[in-house]
Homo-oligomer: A and B are copies of this chain.
Amino acid sequence: ATHKLLVLPGDGIGPEVMAEVMRLIDWLNAEGVAKFDTETGLVGGASIDADGVPITDATMAKADAADAIIFGAIGGPKWDGVAYENRPEAGLLRLRKDLGLFANLRPAVCYPALADSSSLKRDVVEGLDIMIVRELTGGVYFGEPKTITDLGNGQKRAIDTQVYDTYEIERIARVAFDLAKKRQNKVTSMEKRNVMKSGVLWNEVVTQVHGREYKDVTLDHQLADSGGMNLVKWPKQFDVIVTDNLFGDMLSDIAAMLTGSLGMLPSASLGEVDAKTGKRKAMYEPVHGSAPDIAGQGKANPLAMIASFGMALRYSLDLGDLADKVDQAIAAVLAKGLRTADLKSEGATIISTAQMGEAVLAE
């Protein structure tokens, strides 16, 4: 089978780290290990510069037709002046929303070789393995009204709306419980039910889904603020965390930073399984951003991007064996002491983005 991939490098370090995935794909194609049909598209600032919008309808159509989308990173100060509707992030948000990618899986794993890169004490993060399941197509990101109104007298009023329906909470809860069953069998749900009605409903629905379908999984509820504290205090208490779009944005970034492995962490954004084809739309993306400050210098760490491609092999393309090999290659390269500049550690050899890509391929 030929696997149709849409490759969206984006902005900043996006194209650099994506080049290392392309190096891998080209090799796999050349060796006949698997067959990939890749198209490349523009998204974010790159698309604004070329077409005036952060993603074109033509690119959206390609995204819709692909078996998987491999996404780099978007945004940067260059597009700070762009109108809100056309800012780089709108391209990413349209992909998520229009393709129905409601389930964002963000593993926060501390690689033993990298435990010392963390700002946290080694014993707090060593061996850490959390999965954050973030709702990705609802909440304050997409709720209407979302407006700024001029009230006169020099006063403006800005409004954003957080909206959640029962079914949105049910389906993300199921993703979390299903993942937990293959892991440590524990889910922690986080919201602010003491302040937000959406938190009240979130708590209620997650509790119902648990009682109806997943009684065998341990479920715990934490307020998002104390949950954030607990993440910093003793993150190993968590297995799977399920939370809404905005809390998930904050908490997954913090969890990623704890591991000392930010440049290492992949993510998957998944849609619902199509009852007919058994397939689901999916986009794979590193957790890190576009890092405009180091773009173009060959300093960026391509491992999160390569690991994201690995997740695509596993979850979308049914190439689990190949995914294992990618993961093993990454681990082997790290074990050899090879590091990009973001991963400071004593006695390591600092190499460039391209050298890291080559090293992974060699393994």
Contacts and interface: CB of A to CB of B under 8 A. Distances in A.
B253 A226 contact: yes
A256 interface: yes
A140 B156 CA distance: 17
A188 to B, nearest CB: 16
Contacts of A120: 119-121, 232
Contact of A258 (B140, B156, B232, B262): B232
Contacts of A146: 196-197
B250 A228 contact: yes
Contact of A195 (B141, B163, B202): B141
Contact of A163 (B157, B201, B226): B157
Question: A163, A197, A289: which has the most chain B beta carbons within 10 Å?
Answer: A197
B158 A198 contact: yes
Contact of A119 (B89, B151, B234, B254): B234
Interface in A109-153: 119-121, 124, 140-141, 143, 146-148, 151
Contacts of A202: 158
A2 interface: no
Residue of A93, A148, A160, A224 with highest tally of chain B CB at under 10 A: A160
A224 B140 CA distance: 14
Contacts of A93: 195
A240 B164 CA distance: 34
Interface string A193-214: 0111110111000000000000
Contacts of A258: 232
B162 A159 contact: yes
A165 interface: yes
B165 A155 contact: yes
A119 B228 CA distance: 13
A178 interface: no
Contacts of A62: none
Given A159-B197, A161-B161, A162-B162, 15 more contacts: A119-B124, A140-B195, A141-B195, A146-B196, A146-B197, A147-B197, A148-B197, A155-B166, A157-B166, A159-B198, A160-B196, A195-B249, A229-B256, A232-B258, A233-B257
Interface of A: 75, 84, 87, 89, 93, 119-121, 124, 140-141, 143, 146-148, 151, 154-167, 192, 194-198, 200-202, 224-226, 228-229, 232-234, 246-247, 249-250, 253-254, 256-258, 262, 289
The 7 lowest CB-CB distance pairs between A and B, nearest first, are A158-B201, A158-B198, A160-B162, A89-B194, A229-B257, A225-B253, A232-B257
